[in-house]
C-alpha cells in the first residue's frame, strides 16, 4: 500500500508500458515489412522516415494540445497553409534565405495558433468548435496565397528534411535527425520545464493546477502555440518532400484526423493530462507505415483505409475502457 518503497525498474516499465509497447510494435512492423518485399535497405529506410515526418510533427503538435485538455481540428489546415506560404516565398531563393523564412513561418504558426488558444480562453467556447471554425480560415488563406499546387524551395532546404536535394534517395540520417530533434526538445520542455509541466497540469486537473498557483490561461495559450509551431513544421516537411506547395483543403482535413488517431494510438488520453511524446512519435510512424505494408500485401487503398479506420476505433475502445476502469476504481 505504501508507495515509499519502489523497485525502480518495474515501476519504470509499468509507467511507460504503452510507450515501450508502441516502439516494439514499430520494430515488429519493420521486421515484418522486410519479409514482404524483395529487398529492404537504405532506400526503404529513407522513404519511411522521410515520408512519416509530416505526420510525426502534426502528432506532436496535436498531442501537446490534447494533453493540455484541448483538441485542434485545424492542425491539418495550418500544415497546408504553412506549406503554401513556404512554397510561395521560398521559390528560387538561396538555402540561407529559405532557412530563415522557414524559421519565420514556424514562429508565425506558433503566434497564430497562440491567438486561437487565447480565443478559446476568452470565449469559453469548446476547443473543438473554435478550431473547426479556424480550420476554414487557414485553408482559405492557403488558397489565397497559392491558388494551385506550385512554388518551390531551395535544394538545400529539401536536403535538410529528406537527405537529398531531389527529395528522394538512400540517405535516411537527415530525416531521422529531424524526427529526433523535436521529440527530444518537447520531451524536455514538457517534462522538465515549468511551462511544459503546466500544460500537463491544466489537462490533468485544471482546478488543482489553478489552486497551486499555475496561470491556467497562459498554459493553454502555450499549448496552442507549440501545436501551431509543429503544424508549421509539418507544412515545411511536406513541401520539402514533394518540392512544391499543395493548398488543397482535403489534404489538411485528412491530416488532422490522422494526427488524432496517432496520439490515441500513442497513448494520449483524449481527456487530457496523460501521454508522452515518445509514444506519439512511434505511433505516428506506425500509422504512416501501415500504407506501405498494406500495399506490399496487395491490399487496395480503399480497403486499406477501412482497415486503418477500424484499427483506430479498436485502439480508442481499449483506451476508453481502461480509462473508464481507472475512474471507477476509486
The footprint of another protein (CB under 8 A) covers 1, 3-6, 15, 191-192, 194, 197-198, 200-201, 203-205, 207-215, 273-274, 328, 330
Partners of 245 in the beta sheet? 150
> Shortest gap between Cβ of 233 and another protein (angstroms)?
26
The residue length of the chain stands at: 330
- Give the H or E element holding residue 116: helix 95-123
Q: In whole angstroms, how far apart are CA 64 and each of 11, 125, 251?
A: 24, 19, 22
Q: Of 167 and 320, which has the nearer Cβ to another protein?
A: 320
Q: Of 116 and 202, which has the nearer Cβ to another protein?
A: 202
Q: Of 165 and 323, which has the nearer Cβ to another protein?
A: 323
Q: Of 207 and 302, which has the nearer Cβ to another protein?
A: 207
Q: In whole angstroms, how far apart are CA 108 and each of 209, 277, 316?
A: 29, 23, 33
**Cα–Cα distance measured from residue 95 to residue 212, given in angstroms and rounded to the nearest whole number:** 47
Q: Of 39 and 328, which has the nearer Cβ to another protein?
A: 328
> Shortest gap between Cβ of 182 and another protein (angstroms)?
21
> Shortest gap between Cβ of 205 and another protein (angstroms)?
5
Q: Of 90 and 214, which has the nearer Cβ to another protein?
A: 214
- Give the H or E element holding residue 240: helix 216-242
> Shortest gap between Cβ of 122 and another protein (angstroms)?
16
Asked if 65 contacts 224 with a C-beta cutoff of 8 angstroms, the reply is yes
Q: Of 70 and 252, which has the nearer Cβ to another protein?
A: 70
> Shortest gap between Cβ of 297 and another protein (angstroms)?
39
Residue 159: φ, ψ to 5°? -65, -35
> Shortest gap between Cβ of 221 and another protein (angstroms)?
16
Cell 520539402: give the residue.
240
**Cα–Cα distance measured from residue 264 to residue 318, given in angstroms and rounded to the nearest whole number:** 10
> Shortest gap between Cβ of 219 and another protein (angstroms)?
10
Specify the DSSP class assigned to residue 38.
Answer: S
Asked if 250 contacts 46 with a C-beta cutoff of 8 angstroms, the reply is no
Start-to-end Cα distance in the chain: 14
Amino acid at each position: 500500500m505504501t508507495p515509499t518503497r519502489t523497485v525502480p525498474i518495474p515501476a519504470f516499465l509499468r509507467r511507460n508500458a504503452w510507450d515501450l509497447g508502441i516502439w516494439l510494435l514499430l520494430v515488429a512492423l519493420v521486421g515484418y515489412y522486410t519479409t514482404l518485399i524483395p529487398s529492404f535497405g537504405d532506400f526503404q529506410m529513407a522513404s519511411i522516415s522521410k515520408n512519416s515526418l509530416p505526420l510525426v510533427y502534426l502528432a506532436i503538435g496535436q498531442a501537446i494540445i490534447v494533453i493540455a485538455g484541448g483538441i485542434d481540428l485545424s492542425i491539418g489546415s495550418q500544415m497546408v497553409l504553412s506549406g503554401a506560404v513556404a512554397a510561395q516565398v521560398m521559390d528560387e531563393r538561396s538555402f540561407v534565405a529559405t532557412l530563415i523564412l522557414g524559421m519565420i513561418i514556424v514562429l508565425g504558426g506558433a503566434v497564430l495558433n497562440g491567438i486561437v488558444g487565447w480565443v478559446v480562453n476568452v470565449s469559453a467556447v469548446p476547443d473543438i468548435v473554435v478550431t473547426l471554425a479556424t480550420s476554414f480560415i487557414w485553408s482559405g488563406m492557403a488558397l489565397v496565397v497559392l491558388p494551385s499546387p506550385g512554388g518551390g524551395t531551395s535544394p538545400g532546404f529539401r536536403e535538410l528534411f529528406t537527405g537529398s536535394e531531389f527529395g528522394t534517395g538512400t540517405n535516411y540520417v537527415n530525416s531521422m535527425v529531424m524526427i529526433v530533434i523535436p521529440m527530444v526538445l518537447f520531451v524536455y520542455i514538457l517534462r522538465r520545464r515549468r511551462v511544459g509541466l503546466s500544460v500537463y497540469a491544466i489537462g490533468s486537473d485544471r482546478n488543482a493546477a489553478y489552486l497551486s498557483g499555475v496561470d491556467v490561461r497562459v498554459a493553454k495559450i502555450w499549448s496552442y502555440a507549440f501545436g501551431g509551431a509543429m503544424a508549421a513544421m509539418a507544412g515545411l516537411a511536406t513541401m520539402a518532400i514533394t518540392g512544391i506547395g499543395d493548398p488543397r483543403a482535403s489534404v489538411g482535413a485528412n491530416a488532422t484526423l490522422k494526427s488524432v488517431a496517432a496520439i490515441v494510438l500513442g497513448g494520449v488520453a483524449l481527456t487530457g493530462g496523460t501521454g508522452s511524446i515518445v509514444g506519439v512519435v512511434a505511433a505516428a510512424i506506425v500509422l504512416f507505415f501501415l500504407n506501405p505494408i498494406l500495399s506490399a500485401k496487395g491490399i487496395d487503398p480503399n480497403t486499406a483505409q477501412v482497415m486503418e479506420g477500424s484499427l483506430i476505433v479498436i485502439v480508442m475502445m481499449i483506451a476508453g475502457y481502461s480509462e473508464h476502469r481507472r475512474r471507477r476504481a476509486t
